[in-house]
Amino acid sequence: MQQYKQHQQIYSGYKFKHRRNINHRLDNKNDSNKSDNNYPSNNHNNNYNNNNNKYNNFPSHEQQNYQTEQFHNRQLQLHSRPYQKGHHQSDSPRPTTNNNNRNITVYNFNNNNDDDDENNFCLIHVDVAIKPIEYFKIIRCVIQLLDINDNVPIYSPSQFIQELSESSQLEQGFVIPIPKDPDLGRNGVVGYELIVEDPDDDKFKLKAITKMDGSTEVKLVLTSQLDREVKDTHNVKVVAHDGGVPSNRGVLEVTIVVLDSNDNVPSFEQTIYDISVTENTARGTVVLNVLARDSDSGLNGEVMYSFAPSTQNMYGDLFEVDLKSGDVKVKGLIDREVTRLCHLIVLATDNGTPPLQSEVAVVIDDQNDNAPSISINTLAEVNAQAASVLENSKAGDFVGHVIGNDADAGINGKFNCSLKKVEYFRLKRMFNGEYNIITSSPIDRELLKKTSYQLSNLYSTINVPQDISTDFGNPPLVSERQFFVFISDVNDNNPIFDQSVYKFNVTENSPFGFPVATVRATDIDSGNNAKVTYLIMKESPPFAINSNSGEITPTTLLDYEVIKSITFKVVAKDNGTPALSATATVVVEVQDANDHPPIFTVPTFQFQISENLPPESEVGYQNLHSSQRSKNVTWTPKYLPKFKIDKSTGLITTRTLLDRELADKHVIIVAAVDSNDITLTSSTTVVVMVNDMNDNPPKFIYPPTSTATIILPEPLLTGRTIASLTAVDADLDLNGDVRYFVV
């Protein structure tokens, strides 16, 4: 490719003049009207004329005007300071003169000029004296130091990197560094040049701005729009040149890094997707990956996927889309019979707006996941799932109407209907999917009672021998429905008792109205023909019978000592016309009742026992009245912390050692309970007195310890009480009587 270069030059705003040639004159005359501080102006030519004739006899210079040029690369050390506009003077060091000649010598000069203002230049003021004293005269010389172009504009560093957003406006730019050139005036930097080698980088221009302080600021500004997606970096060169001959040049390599801005919307690879998903696909299955690309970089180029709000509301329970990958996944149970087609709108968004969308059409493919359904209509007014047929009906009578349906599509939705284990009924095909159930032979209800048949084997329309059918689903699905046929009854059967003789035991004193026995009769007929009513024959026993349930209850208190057995007859009849009946015998045995509770010989028992006896020591017996001793009696409570009671004999024994000092009396409430069907209980109070034993030594109360010190005053008189000792004994009576001895 041919190299492309574009040059642009700007100048830094200097008002360039001609190169300064400074003439230094040594005059042999002095203008007495000029003061010492009246230096030459910036025309660089000064004539020192002395019009006073009184000096004409003095020695004179060979020539009136001297001209000298001193270039600054001579090693003269100059320390300049402003004196007048456009002038500098130097005080130290100074050039020196030789006494024997008229030469001015320059020494020790270093180039240390940091001021590049064209109006600032270096002037050296030298006073030359003429000796001897009788000829004394001062000649004032001005030496102007001329600059040469011996410095190159230098960028440090020579590379400059600037970031710029691709959304930057035209004429927007940035300031570039200013090069350093120690030369003065035109020998300093006078202009800049922009070099563009690649046409794709030709988007900038140089612009110089003079600031209020007189300095120059150089900017690189946009001339055409940036686009990071086309080119993310631009490289140009800025050349700074001075005004010297030949001109020196310094190069700054500028790299503009284009920052991304969100100026590109995501773009889907496809705007419409058509996919098929089989119903019942497992949750989490990826059914599609939508892909949108964004030319932006970084966060601006990150694409996030989501469903449109309408899609989320309608299908958010069935599908979900991964926020980052764009994977469309199955979220819930997909049922073609509920939803056959889904229109999903997927949004792709970056950090900008508006979002881009793509449409996904999801066709739900059928799976043979629905068994055929059956609905049955009959002439019954209440239960449509049951039909009623009179017994002894002729063959071909209508029983019910069957309608089949399969929610699946295609061959999966075709079916056939048949009866299995049929003896009295058959199906008659009416239309596609519709059948009539009819009788195939007369029915005897008393032989069949309630008979149920199942409509089953709902397969496809492919018929094979033995009425076995199958569809092309894999696997085929079968549905079964129970259909009840009730055979209407004729009252041609008597009630039958389940026993011809009933024997019951009744406890004496049974309360009135409490059932003591139940008889039961059944009738194989149905309806009112099978409804049985019970009654008692005319013997009028002390019992009554519930006409509906057959429960027998006493009408008076039965006394075992008065009557021990009662026999009577019961009748069961149906409600048919005419009514049919049956009889049975009932025998009631009266049982003796436990109607007397245990009786203690005394209301309160009192026993005495010494303390500290070993466990199992006998305390005493609880005696019952002689008439109750033959009863099976148990004693309660079963557990006491200090005592235990033999549940058979009522003997009370100790469980632990007894300590009278802790408790000298124990009161126990004891109950005697008989173990007949009706439990009767009597209770009594048992008082156990604990007798004392001398089992506790005396204990001193004062002094409280076994060793005590008593301080006695002096003098100690005989018979005087020096201390009172106190001791106690926890035992009782003599066992607790304390005596004191001195050992």
3-state secondary structure 119-180: CCCEEEEEEEEECCHHHCEEEEEEEEEECCCCCCCECCCCEEEEEEECCCCCCCEEECCCCE
**Averaged over 617-635, what is the pLDDT?**
70
Tokens of 714: 């002096």
State the pLDDT at residue 625.
Answer: 63
Evaluate whether 236 touches 178 at the Cβ level (below 8 Å). no
pLDDT at residue number 399: 84
In this prediction, residue 602 carries a pLDDT of: 82
Task: Supply the CATH classification number for the domain 604-691.
Answer: 2.60.40.60
Spatial distance between the Cα atoms of 577 and 389, rounded to a whole number of angstroms: 20
Q: Let me know: does 411 contact 429? Beta carbons within 8 Å.
A: no
Quote the CA–CA distance of 309 and 325 in Å, as a whole number.
19
What secondary structure letter does DSSP report for 410?
A: G
Mean pLDDT of 156-162: 90
Lowest mean pLDDT among 154-168, 187-201, 670-684, 687-701: 670-684
Q: Which residues on neighbouring strands pair with residue 651, listed in sequence order?
A: none
Half-sphere exposure of 473 (CA within 13 A, CB side): 27
At a CB cut-off of 8 Å and minimum separation 6, what does 428 contact?
435, 436, 437, 438
CA dist., res. 514 & res. 552, Å (int): 8
Nearest to 417, CA basis, from 367, 473, 478: 478
- Choose between 674 and 355: higher pLDDT: 674
| pLDDT one-digit tens code per residue, 489-503 | 778 889 999 999 999
User: How far apart, in whole angstroms, are the C-alpha atoms of residue 688 and residue 222?
Assistant: 119
* 93 upstream amide cis, omega within 30 of 0: yes
**Is the pLDDT confidence value at 300 over 60?**
yes
- Which position has the higher pLDDT, 474 or 622? 622
Name the CATH code of domain 373-482 (choices 2.60.40.10, 2.60.40.60, 1.10.3720.10, 3.40.50.300): 2.60.40.60
What is the overall mean pLDDT for the chain? 74
Q: How many CB atoms lie within 10 A of CB 308?
A: 15
Across the range 574-591, mean pLDDT stands at 91
Alpha-carbon distance of 329 to 346, in angstroms, equals: 12
Q: How many residues does the chain have?
A: 743
Peptide bond into 372 cis (omega under 30): no
CATH architecture of residue range(s) 159-259: Sandwich (2.60)
pLDDT of residue 122: 72
Strands of 643-645's sheet in order across: 618-620, 652-654, 643-645
Whether residue 448 contacts residue 438, with contact meaning beta carbons closer than 8 Å, is answered with no
Q: Which two tokens stand for residue 73?
A: 């690369």
> Strand, coil or helix: what is 404?
strand
**Closest C-alpha among 646, 648, 659 to residue 619:** 646
Amino acid identity of 265? V
Token readout for 313 is 């509301």
pLDDT for position 222:
92
- 314 against 638, higher pLDDT: 314
Q: What pLDDT shows up at residue 548? A: 93
362 backbone dihedrals φ, ψ, rounded to 5°: -110, 115
Higher pLDDT, residue 358 or 52? 358
Using CA atoms, how far apart are residues 94 and 128, in angstroms rounded to an integer?
A: 11
- Half-sphere exposure of residue 94, counting CA atoms within 13 Å on the CB side? 12
d(CA 442, CA 424): 7
3-state helix, strand, coil in the chain (%, to 5): 5, 40, 55
pLDDT of residue 531: 93
Among left, alpha and beta (phi > 0; psi -120 to 50; other), residue 665 is beta
What does the pLDDT read at residue 708?
74
Taking domain 267-365, whether its CATH number is 3.20.20.70 is answered by no
Task: Return the residue matching tokens 């059948």.
Answer: 435
Alpha-carbon distances of 715 from 708, 709, 712, 719, rounded to whole Å: 21, 18, 9, 12
The answer to whether residue 671 scores a pLDDT higher than 70 is yes
The mean per-residue pLDDT over the stretch 77-100 comes to 42
> Tokens representing 45?
């030519």
Assess whether pLDDT exceeds 50 at residue 383: yes
In the chain, % of residues over pLDDT 90: 17
Q: Three-state SS string across 234-266, please?
A: EEEEEEEEECCCCCCEEEEEEEEEEECCCCCCC
The confidence score (pLDDT) of residue 227 equals 84
Torsion of CA 50, 51, 57, 60, to 10 degrees: 30
User: What is the rounded average pLDDT of the residues 388-396?
Assistant: 80
Residue 639, pLDDT above cutoff 90? no
Average pLDDT over every residue of 220-241: 90
Q: Please count the helices (runs of H) and the strands (runs of E) in the chain.
A: 2, 52
Contact 686, 670 (CB under 8 A): yes
- Strand, helix or coil for residue 300: helix
Which is more confident, 485 or 397?
Answer: 397
Cα distance between residue 561 and residue 554, in whole Å: 17
Amino acid identity, position 121: F
Please determine whether the domains at 267-365 and 496-590 fall in the same fold group of CATH: yes
What mean pLDDT do residues 78-84 have? Answer: 34
d(CA 460, CA 471) in angstroms, rounded, equals 4
Bridge partners for 319 per DSSP: 330
Block residue for tokens 């009480």:
721
- Residue 91, pLDDT > 90, answer no
For residue 17, pLDDT over 50 is answered with: no
Tokens of 106: 């320059």
Query: Closest by alpha carbon to 728, among 661, 671, 670?
Result: 661
pLDDT for 2 equals 40
Q: Tell me what pLDDT residue 47 has.
A: 37
In this prediction, residue 497 carries a pLDDT of 95
- Side by side, the strands of the sheet bearing 434-439 are 373-377, 398-405, 434-439, 425-431
pLDDT at residue number 385: 64
Cβ of 226: how many Cβ atoms within 10 Å? 21
Gap between the Cα atoms of 290 and 327, Å rounded? 6
Q: At 121, is the pLDDT very low, low, confident or very high (cuts 50, 70, 90)?
A: low
Higher pLDDT, 35 or 286: 286
CATH of region 496-590: 2.60.40.60
Q: How confident is the model at residue 552 (pLDDT cuts 50, 70, 90)?
A: very high
Question: Residue 700: which pLDDT band, with cuts at 50, 70 and 90?
Answer: confident
Enter the tokens of residue 466: 């033995």
What value does the CA radius of gyration of the chain take, rounded to a whole number of Å? 67
Show Cβ contacts of residue 19 under 8 Å, excluding neighbours closer than 6 positions: 186
How many whole angstroms separate alpha carbon 94 and alpha carbon 129? Answer: 14
Q: CA dist 531 to 486, 504, 563, 584, Å?
A: 17, 25, 35, 17
Distances (CA, A) of 496 to 418, 451, 491, 493, 529: 39, 22, 14, 9, 13
* DSSP state letters, 86-116: T-EEE-SS--EE-TTS--EE--SB-------
pLDDT value at 115 more than 60: no
102: Cβ–Cβ under 8 A, 6 or more apart, which residues?
26, 61
Mean pLDDT computed over 212-237? 85
CA angle at 286 for the pair 284 and 290, rounded to the nearest 5°? 135
- Measured distance CA(498)–CA(410) in Å, rounded: 58
| 46 vs 667: which has the higher pLDDT | 667
Cβ 411 vs Cβ 509: under 8 Å: no
Dihedral of the alpha carbons of 10, 12, 14, 20, in degrees to the nearest 10: -90
State the pTM of this model: 0.34
Q: Where are the domains positioned within the chain?
A: 53-146, 159-259, 267-365, 373-482, 496-590, 604-691, 697-743
pLDDT over 70 at 182, yes or no: yes
Per-residue pLDDT at 254: 94
Higher pLDDT, 369 or 547: 547
